[in-house]
A and B are shown apart, each in its own frame.
Chain A
Amino acid sequence: MTALAQAQPVIPDFGRGSDCVRENRTFCWDWVRDHWDDTLQPRLLEHVELTAYAVGIGFAIAFVAALVAYRHRSFEGAFGFTSELLYTIPSLALFQLLVPVTGLTITTVEIALVSYTLLILFRNVVAGLRAVPDDVLEAARGMGFTRAQTLLRVELPLAAPSILAGVRIAAVSTISLATIAAFVLPEGLGQPILDGLRTFFKTKFIAAGALAVALAIATDALLVLVQRSLTPWTRASRAG
């Protein structure tokens, strides 16, 4: 697909298609209809895939780090500071700087995307665990729970709302950042946006941009539902 696009002349070829496409009007439904199967849908699925891997790997790392940080305060400072630094690095610059190391590969993209999820996930898991009231922990100890049992049956369930809130924020942010990955890897919805911008074909970047926004909003809504169904006790006290 990309190779073909590259082979085309520099002047964008809007020749085929309807008047709307030829005149490059703001938005052409027929282009979206015609190119859903070969452009938009595959890029959308790639985008979901990029995001899912990043959040999954990021969660695994952040969760383990948070458990360690929960027991050892000094580690919390160190990991928090590192993930904070990573979070501050502009995404386009990080993608570009990883290229000499890992090449124009999916690894480059995922390393960057994962590193942006760490801060949010780590913070929320630690905050959730720390918010467990002392008397609840006392009661668990009084019932003869071991440390592992307390963690699994008391602390993690009570921390679940905060953890899930972190996953939600991380997922939505990653969807946004994954569009920028298109600067180094022609995958995901960033690719048609960038391609549309470079050829100034409005329908393409508007449609792909709208899809990215819709994906973010849908993911947010879906994760709110998951959050509510997994932690029904939070609904009564939710402030908004």
Chain B
Amino acid sequence: MDPRESRGMNDDFRPRLFVDGIRFVLDNASLIAAKTLEHLVLSGAAIGVALAIAVPLGVLLGHAHRGAFLAINVGNVGRALPSLALIAFGLPIFGISFTNVLVALVVLAIPPMLLNTYVAIDGVDADAVGAARGMGMTEGQIVRRVELPLALPLIFAGVRIAAVFVVATATIAAIAGGGGLGDIIVNQASYRLRGVVGASMCVIVLALAVSAALAALQRLVTPPNLRPRVLMLEPTHVPSLASRADPEPGP
């Protein structure tokens, strides 16, 4: 159904809708809570699966200083995939299901994680790695004790970008049976415009909360003396990183 029909072609300024939206959220607190939980479970599952794939692969490639082409191009192609199209492509394969939506979200989450992990590990100071090798550390020890701790802030930045993407896209995924708060937003016929507005506000709060929580976590894992190093990434070499890897809001 076309939203135009139920709303009329030219809605004038209707700020009352925001009040109605908030009232909807308060009146349907249990529905909103259930949908928010669904949203978080779906997003969390997607981020978990993507983490399990992207981070080990990025560490492996970064440690070997190989596959820059792969990591950067996966990053670029990933950005070029419209999420709505991705969800659509999965439908004939998986049907209207949780799996379809999960696959789409994982595919979206992998590129920023892989790119950031690769660049972070690859960019660890060669002197530090050399010194570790000179001390007789095995390759596994070098990865665990030198490269990963130094790369952690940037890896976290990638996870945070991916998480923001996933929470946003999980909203759209409702059209393909993903559940979550998007269920209310795409279902104007059942929930009316105030439901749509209310759920939209909830999604925004949820996205900001997830982003803020991960930012706090990122700050926690970043030793203060490392912060400038992260900021010094050359923007021209890895453009996507320069613009996205450092979502540290200003002061």
From DSSP, what is the main secondary structure of chain B's interface residues? helix
Distance between A176 CB and nearest chain B CB, rounded to angstroms? 4
**A234, B239: Cα distance in complex, Å:** 13
Nearest opposing residue in chain A for B211, CB measure: A88
Asked whether B49 is an interface residue with its Cβ less than 8 Å from the other chain, the reply is no
* B85 / chain A contacts, CB cutoff of 8 Å: 179, 193, 205, 208-210, 212-213
Is the Cβ of B204 less than 8 Å from the Cβ of A120?
A: no
* Binary flags per residue of A180-199, CB closer than 8 Å to B gives 1, else 0: 10111010011001101100
Q: Which of B80-109 contact A (CB under 8 A)?
A: 80-89, 91-92
Q: Tell which of A89, A183, A206 touches B207, judged by Cβ atoms closer than 8 Å.
A: A89
Asked whether A96 is an interface residue with its Cβ less than 8 Å from the other chain, the reply is yes
Is the Cβ of A85 less than 8 Å from the Cβ of B208?
A: yes
Is the Cβ of A240 less than 8 Å from the Cβ of B72?
A: yes
Distance between B61 CB and nearest chain A CB, rounded to angstroms? 12
* Binary flags per residue of A68-112, CB closer than 8 Å to B gives 1, else 0: 000000001110110011011111111011011101110000000
Q: Which of B232-251 contact A (CB under 8 A)?
A: 234-240, 242-244, 247, 249-251
| Among listed B124-132, B170-178, B222-230, interface-contacting one | B170-178
Is the Cβ of A90 less than 8 Å from the Cβ of B204?
A: yes
> Given A2-B2, A84-B249 in contact, is the A176-B185 Cβ separation under 8 Å?
no
> Given A76-B250, A97-B197, A165-B239 in contact, is the A91-B168 Cβ separation under 8 Å?
yes
Q: Which of A118-141 contact B (CB under 8 A)?
A: 119-120, 123-124, 127-128, 131
In the complex, how many residues of chain A place their beta carbon closer than 8 angstroms to a beta carbon of chain B? 72
Is the Cβ of A103 less than 8 Å from the Cβ of B172?
A: no
Asked whether A60 is an interface residue with its Cβ less than 8 Å from the other chain, the reply is no
Nearest opposing residue in chain B for A211, CB measure: B85
**A200, B92: Cα distance in complex, Å:** 9
Asked whether B17 is an interface residue with its Cβ less than 8 Å from the other chain, the reply is yes
| Among listed A36-44, A147-155, A167-175, interface-contacting one | A167-175
Asked whether A143 is an interface residue with its Cβ less than 8 Å from the other chain, the reply is no
**A104, B83: Cα distance in complex, Å:** 22
Is the Cβ of B196 less than 8 Å from the Cβ of A96?
A: yes
Nearest opposing residue in chain A for B12, CB measure: A103
Q: Tell which of B1, B68, B171, B239 touches A162, judged by Cβ atoms closer than 8 Å.
A: B239
> Given A209-B85, A212-B85 in contact, is the A100-B15 Cβ separation under 8 Å?
yes
Is the Cβ of B84 less than 8 Å from the Cβ of A77?
A: no
**A168, B72: Cα distance in complex, Å:** 14
> Given A93-B201, A240-B72 in contact, is the A124-B239 Cβ separation under 8 Å?
yes
Is the Cβ of B234 less than 8 Å from the Cβ of A97?
A: no
* Binary flags per residue of B183-210, CB closer than 8 Å to A gives 1, else 0: 0011000000100110111011001100
Distance between A191 CB and nearest chain B CB, rounded to angstroms? 10
| Among listed B3-11, B28-36, B51-59, B149-157, interface-contacting one | B3-11
Q: Tell which of A80, A128, A213 touches B80, judged by Cβ atoms closer than 8 Å.
A: A213
Nearest opposing residue in chain B for A170, CB measure: B243
**A168, B80: Cα distance in complex, Å:** 11
Distance between B46 CB and nearest chain A CB, rounded to angstroms? 14
Is the Cβ of B80 less than 8 Å from the Cβ of A162?
A: no
What are 24 residue pairs bridging A and B, where the CB atoms are less than 8 Å apart in the complex?
A81-B249, A88-B211, A90-B203, A91-B172, A93-B168, A93-B200, A93-B207, A103-B11, A124-B239, A128-B236, A172-B76, A176-B79, A180-B172, A186-B4, A190-B84, A193-B84, A193-B85, A205-B85, A208-B88, A209-B88, A210-B85, A213-B82, A216-B80, A238-B237
Residues of A within 8 A of B (CB): 2, 6, 26, 76-78, 80-81, 84-85, 87-94, 96-97, 99-101, 103-105, 119-120, 123-124, 127-128, 131, 161-162, 165-166, 168-169, 172-173, 175-177, 179-180, 182-184, 186, 189-190, 193-194, 196-197, 200, 202, 205-206, 208-210, 212-213, 216-217, 220, 234, 238-240
16 further contact pairs, Cβ within 8 A, besides A6-B1, A99-B7, A180-B172: A6-B2, A81-B249, A85-B208, A87-B164, A89-B208, A90-B169, A92-B182, A100-B14, A104-B3, A165-B239, A172-B80, A205-B88, A208-B85, A209-B82, A216-B80, A238-B237
